[in-house]
């Protein structure tokens, strides 16, 4: 008879491997990786610094060896990181095997204690007349037999666990030796190690080894896990697969920054993944909310969803609308798919309640937390998000389920408006809302700019605030995109004819459509959303050349000529005036545009010495005068509906006087910021005397400080302002500023000797022994009697002003007079 197995009969293989020590070693390796690279970079930096102190013969070899050293440091760092990751996985294998052996031993101990399930009372059931000795012998035989069966079962389980343990050890050794190959990365991910994060380190420029099948598997496994998520944790295998999705999104974000495409395998992976989760895309935040998973796991999934949709929709990455799942394509079709033979079929059975937007915002918020706030989607997908967001804005603060909050809108627009082509396609009509069709641009602008934003319009302005940067980027394609967007922005918002879907025109809406705010019964855009007006003002400044172009009698037109000498657009007179009025609705925006306008006038008048007769003078004056006239008209129109003394209040800011003074003092800076403004040269800088008295020809521009005086009936006061210290000081400051600019410009034709020849008291010797113009503050001090010692006394500022004026009067003559006369006439004619 076989012996009954005991506790010692089961002796599974053991291991002396220490998982805690392995994990500690892994942490050490990981810590050393950064130290290795940091020290390597520091050494190379010192090499580079030292190398430049020697001849090229010596420095180049030193730099080359420095590069080799850095490569070695990088390789060492990669080895340390890879060794750390593989060691962590091996520690997991050790822990897994030890826990398996512990469980088997516990199971064996329980079986032995239970006599392998044999009960003496149950033995010999078919032969009840057994003697006690016979029953005991039969029981021992049954127990021995059952024990041997259980021991065989336990040994088989222990051997299987040990064979897996040995295979894990062999795989670990091979991975350490082979390094981070795609196959090893994939195998480690399947085992629950986030090896895909390492792929960014070992191969960001190389395509991830992904296939469409892998994407489909992830989608199915994720939905299966969600179905059990209220009772189970997120499986490690699914988390490992999500690591691949996360690495792919990080790579897509990187490729967007350098203008390259994803591989076919990567795109197929995304397409198949979203195909598998299609019906759950917009339900994903709610589905995850029903699980008991950690916030980190939920965020990982949401970020993967959001980044994946942006990547797979991006045409420049190789994606596009056709690769989106049906649910998302239907969303695009509902808002941005209604034009031309390639229009997407509109299949939404009922109007959206904004759930899609809230879901996307949750995904994008999670993506932003991973540092990818600048990631953008494709043109159509981005345009659909922008149009839908505008349509669902919570305009009355009701918090309806059919609206989205400003916080949600901000998250969505951060990503959707990052695609400049999408913004332009909305504004120029290339993308149409299925209902609003050719009026889509006006619809979006009314919703986006018509909403009174809590942030002053910063969020709404995202649709257009990129235009000035793109226009000055130096990239012709991007510049044309900006010009096209600017043209349609200007002409749409200034349209004074009511479109099909509204009773009032866009121009009337944006100038009077914001209700009672402050001093206005019918507030304009700039009062309700000052930051939108300021963004439009920056656009106006960028394209200021088109605001003072000759007023020929023709309609507005976009040309986008390839000839750099030709105009890219033309704006008719009414469009210019209405757009400047929209800008002037905000005082900050108005002041910036006013300063830029005067700076342009000053700079262009600097060409006076090169003008060929009074015809050139008149041509320049008509353009410059027209531009300044737009400022007059715009301010008058903005404040004519204001309550009380709003018109007078507007002029308290010293409109034109402030603009002239600021333009003179910031001229050098403004020229660098406005590429269209010519470099300063010549001597005729500005209509100095007449420029200071612009109020004479604009009765509606009354400066409250008293610099401009008017009769009670609004007509200009008779006589000039001689003898008024404030007026004359202001005039002197402007004149002094212009002369300073002339002296700083070697091409102006004016130098300090010209000034000294007029009156030596205007100049002084600097520390270098060279003469220079004295500061205006010093010349404005109380006057001392002139000193006989090198004329060191102060001039009366009236004397100083008159003396400096001679630089202009003597060298411009009739050209100056012709320019002033035409400027004044044109300004009054606006």
Tens digit of each residue's pLDDT (9 = 90 or more) over 595-613: 888 777 766 766 666 677 7
Query: Is 802:601 a contact under the CB 8 Å cutoff?
Result: no
- Paired residues of 570 in beta bridges: 557
Can you tell me the distance from the alpha carbon of 222 to that of 363, in angstroms, rounded to the nearest whole number?
16
Binning pLDDT at 50, 70 and 90, where does residue 741 land?
low
CA distances from 679 to 280, 503, 676, 685, 748 (A): 60, 47, 9, 12, 10
d(CA 319, CA 328): 14
Residue 809 has pLDDT above 70, yes or no: no
Q: Which residue has the higher pLDDT, 270 or 517?
A: 270
- pLDDT on residue 525: 94
Q: Kindly provide the b/e burial profile for residues 317-337, where b requires at least 16 CB atoms within 10 angstroms of the residue's own CB.
A: bbbbbebbbebbbbbbbbbbb
**Cα 455 to Cα 401: distance, rounded to the nearest angstrom:** 22
Of 366 and 565, the structure prediction assigns the larger pLDDT to: 366
Cross-strand partners of 771: 765
Contact 524, 638 (CB under 8 A): yes
Task: Tell me whether residue 206 is exposed, middle or buried, using C-beta atoms within 10 angstroms of its C-beta: 0 to 12, 13 to 18, 19 or more.
Answer: exposed
Tokens of 722: 């001689």
| Band of pLDDT at residue 171, cut at 50, 70 and 90 | confident
pLDDT of amino acid 727: 47
Residues 427/489, Cβ–Cβ less than 8 Å:
yes
- Report pLDDT for 630: 86
- Of residues 291 and 136, the one with the higher pLDDT is 291
Quick one: pLDDT at residue 168? 84
Give CA–CA dist 769/673, Å, rounded: 34
Report the alpha-carbon distance of residue 746 to residue 456 in Å, rounded: 44
* Look-up of token digits 């005397």: 689
pLDDT at residue 371 in the model = 87
**Which among 168-182, 630-644, 751-765 has the top mean pLDDT?**
751-765
Q: What does the pLDDT read at residue 247?
A: 84
pLDDT band, very low/low/confident/very high, at 685 (cuts 50, 70, 90) = very low
For residues 41-57, give the mean pLDDT.
42
Mean local confidence (pLDDT), 143-163: 90
CA distance 298 to 362: 11
Note the pTM of the prediction, 2 decimals. 0.70
pLDDT at 677 over 50: no
Give the pLDDT band (50/70/90) at residue 402. Answer: confident
How does residue 520 score in pLDDT terms, banded at 50, 70 and 90?
A: confident
CA distances to 288, 341, 620 from 602, rounded to whole Å, are 63, 52, 11
Choice between 113 and 712, residue whose per-residue pLDDT is larger: 113
Burial of 303 (0-12, 13-18, 19+ CB in 10 A): buried
Instruction: Tell whether the model's pLDDT for residue 775 goes beyond 70.
Output: yes
Exposed/middle/buried for residue 409 (C-beta within 10 Å: 0-12, 13-18, 19+): buried
Question: Which tokens belong to 754?
Answer: 């010209």
**Could you tell me which residue, 152 or 61, shows the higher pLDDT?**
152
pLDDT at 728: 60
C-alpha triplet 93, 95, 101: angle, nearest 5°? 100
Per-residue pLDDT tens digits for 303-343: 999 999 999 999 999 999 999 999 999 999 999 987 766 67
In DSSP terms, 517 is beta-bridged to: 520
**More confident position, 825 or 691:** 825
pLDDT for residue 270 is more than 50: yes
Cα angle 501-351-373, degrees, rounded to a multiple of 5: 95
What would the mean pLDDT of 132-145 be, rounded to a whole number?
83
Q: Compute how many other C-beta atoms are within 10 angstroms of the C-beta atom of residue 545.
A: 18
Residue 795 φ then ψ, to 5°: -85, 150
Confidence band for 517, pLDDT divided at 50, 70 and 90: confident
Question: How many CB atoms sit inside 10 A of residue 647's CB?
Answer: 16
- Can you tell me which residue has the tokens 């095997």? 97
Between CA 331 and CA 335 the distance in angstroms is 7
Mean pLDDT of the 541-561 span: 86
pLDDT at 200: 55
Interval 665-682 mean pLDDT: 42
Model confidence over 280-295: pLDDT tens digits? 999 999 999 999 999 9
Residue 206, CA atoms < 13 Å, CB-side half-sphere: 13
Whether 15 and 162 have beta carbons less than 8 Å apart is answered as: no
- Residue 576, pLDDT > 70, answer yes
Cross-strand partners of 773: 763
Mean pLDDT of 805-810: 63
The pLDDT of 629-642, averaged and rounded, is 76
More confident residue, 44 or 634: 634
Query: CB within 8 A of 222, min separation 6: which ones?
Result: 238, 241, 242, 276, 277, 301
> How far is 564 from 480, CA to CA, in rounded Å?
12
Q: Contact at 8 Å (CB) between 105 and 157? A: no
Element (H, E) at 557: strand 557-558
| pLDDT of the residue at 553 | 77
Picking from 242, 252, 251, 226, the residue whose alpha carbon sits closest to that of residue 193 is: 242
pLDDT confidence tier of residue 174, bands split at 50, 70 and 90: confident
Q: What is the CA radius of gyration of the chain?
A: 40
Per-residue pLDDT of 437-461, as tens digits, reads: 999 999 999 999 999 999 999 999 9
Is residue 202 within 8 Å of residue 154, measured between CB atoms? no
Phi, psi of 821 (to 5 degrees): -60, -45
Q: Where are the alpha helices (DSSP H) in 191-283?
A: 196-203, 212-227, 236-258, 264-276
What pLDDT band is residue 128 in, cutting at 50, 70 and 90?
A: low
The residue that leads in pLDDT, 618 or 277, is 277
Q: What are phi and psi of 517, to 5 degrees?
A: -135, 120
Question: Is the model's pLDDT at 81 over the cut of 70?
Answer: no
Q: For residues 742 and 738, what is the distance between their CA atoms, to the nearest angstrom? A: 6
Residue matched to tokens 């006439």 = 825
C-alpha to C-alpha distance for 537 and 447, rounded to whole angstroms: 20
Helix (H/G/I), strand (E/B), else coil: 102:
helix
Residue 49 scores a pLDDT above 70: no
DSSP string over 141-209: HHHHHHHHHHHHHHHHHHHHHHHHHHHHHHHHHHHHHH-S-HHHHHHHHHTT--THHHHHHHHTTS---
Count CB atoms within 10 A of the CB of residue 182.
15
Q: Among 21-35, 462-476, 611-625, 693-707, which stretch is predicted with the lowest mean pLDDT?
A: 693-707
Under 8 Å between Cβ of 590 and 541: no
Between the CA of residue 48 and those of 75, 397, 574, 802, what are the distances in Å? 20, 60, 61, 59
Summary mean pLDDT of the chain = 77
């Amino acid at each position: 008879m076989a012996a009954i197995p005991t506790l010692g009969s089961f002796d599974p293989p053991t291991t002396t491997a220490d998982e805690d020590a392995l994990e500690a070693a892994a942490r050490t390796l990981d810590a050393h990786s950064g130290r290795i690279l940091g020290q390597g970079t520091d050494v190379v930096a010192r090499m580079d610094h030292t190398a430049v102190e020697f001849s090229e013969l010596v420095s180049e070899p030193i730099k080359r060896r420095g590069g080799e050293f850095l490569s070695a440091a990088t390789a060492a760092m990669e080895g340390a990181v890879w060794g750390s990751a593989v060691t962590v996985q091996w520690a997991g294998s050790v822990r897994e095997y030890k826990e398996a052996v512990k469980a088997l031993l516990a199971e064996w101990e329980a079986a032995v204690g239970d006599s392998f399930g044999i009960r003496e009372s149950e033995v010999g059931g078919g032969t009840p007349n057994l003697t006690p000795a016979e029953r005991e012998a039969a029981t021992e035989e049954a127990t021995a037999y059952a024990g041997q069966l259980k021991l065989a079962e336990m040994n088989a389980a222990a051997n299987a666990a040990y064979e897996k343990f040995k295979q894990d050890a062999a795989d670990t050794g091979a991975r350490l030796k082979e390094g981070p190959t795609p196959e090893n990365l994939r195998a480690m991910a399947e085992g629950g190690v986030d090896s895909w994060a390492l792929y960014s380190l070992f191969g960001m420029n190389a395509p991830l080894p992904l296939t469409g099948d892998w994407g489909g598997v992830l989608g199915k496994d994720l939905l299966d896990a969600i179905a059990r998520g209220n009772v189970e944790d997120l499986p490690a295998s699914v988390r490992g697969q999500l690591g691949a999705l996360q690495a792919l999104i990080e790579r897509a974000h990187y490729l967007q920054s350098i203008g390259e495409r994803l591989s076919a395998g990567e795109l197929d992976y995304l397409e198949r993944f979203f195909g598998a989760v299609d019906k759950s895309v917009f339900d994903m935040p709610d589905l995850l909310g029903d699980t008991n998973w950690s916030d980190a796991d939920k965020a990982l999934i949401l970020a993967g969803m959001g980044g994946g949709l942006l990547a797979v929709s991006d045409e420049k990455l190789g994606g596009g609308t056709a690769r989106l799942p049906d649910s998302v394509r239907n969303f695009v079709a509902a808002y941005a798919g209604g034009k031309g033979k390639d229009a997407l079929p509109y299949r939404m059975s009922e109007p959206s309640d904004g759930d899609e937007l809230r879901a996307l915002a949750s995904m994008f918020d999670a993506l932003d937390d991973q540092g990818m706030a600048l990631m953008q989607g494709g043109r159509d997908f981005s345009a659909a998000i922008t149009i839908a967001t505008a349509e669902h804005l919570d305009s009355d603060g009701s918090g309806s389920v059919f609206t989205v909050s400003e916080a949600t809108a901000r998250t969505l627009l951060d990503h959707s408006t990052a695609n400049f082509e999408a913004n332009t396609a909305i504004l120029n009509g290339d993308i149409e809302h299925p209902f609003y069709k050719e009026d889509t641009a006006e619809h979006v602008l009314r919703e986006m700019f018509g909403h009174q934003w809590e942030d002053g319009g910063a969020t709404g302005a995202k649709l257009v605030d990129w235009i000035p940067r793109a226009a000055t980027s130096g990239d012709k394609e991007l510049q044309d995109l900006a010009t096209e967007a600017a043209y349609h922005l200007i002409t749409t918002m200034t349209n004074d004819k009511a479109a099909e879907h509204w009773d009032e025109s866009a121009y009337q809406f944006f100038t009077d459509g914001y209700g009672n705010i402050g001093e206005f019964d019918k507030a304009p855009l700039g009062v309700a959303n000052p930051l939108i007006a300021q963004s439009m003002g920056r656009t106006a400044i960028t394209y200021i050349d088109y605001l003072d172009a000759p007023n020929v009698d023709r309609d507005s037109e976009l040309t986008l000529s390839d000839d750099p000498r030709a105009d890219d657009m033309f704006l008719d007179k009414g469009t210019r005036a209405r757009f400047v009025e929209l800008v002037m609705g905000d005082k900050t925006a108005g002041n910036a545009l006013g300063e830029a306008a005067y700076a342009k006038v000053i700079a262009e008048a600097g060409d006076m010495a090169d003008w060929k007769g009074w015809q050139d003078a008149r041509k320049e004056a008509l353009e410059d005068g027209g531009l300044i006239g737009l400022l007059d008209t715009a301010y008058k129109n903005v404040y004519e509906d204001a309550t009380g003394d709003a018109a007078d209040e507007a002029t308290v800011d010293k409109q034109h006087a402030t603009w002239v003074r600021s333009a003179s003092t910031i001229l050098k800076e403004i020229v660098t910021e406005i590429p269209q403004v010519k470099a300063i040269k010549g001597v005729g800088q500005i209509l100095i005397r007449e420029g200071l008295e612009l109020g004479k020809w604009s009765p509606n521009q009354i400066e409250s400080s008293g610099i401009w005086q008017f009769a009670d009936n609004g007509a200009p006061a008779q006589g000039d302002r001689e003898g008024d210290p404030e007026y004359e000081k202001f005039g002197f400051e402007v004149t002094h500023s212009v002369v300073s600019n002339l002296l700083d410009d070697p091409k102006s034709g004016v130098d300090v000797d010209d000034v000294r020849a007029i009156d030596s008291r205007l100049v002084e010797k600097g520390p270098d022994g060279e003469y220079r113009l004295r500061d205006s503050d010093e010349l404005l001090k109380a006057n001392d009697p002139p000193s006989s010692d090198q004329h060191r006394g102060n001039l009366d500022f009236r004397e100083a002003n008159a003396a400096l004026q001679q630089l202009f009067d003597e060298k411009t003559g009739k050209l100056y007079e012709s320019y002033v006369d035409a400027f004044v006439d044109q300004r009054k004619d606006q």
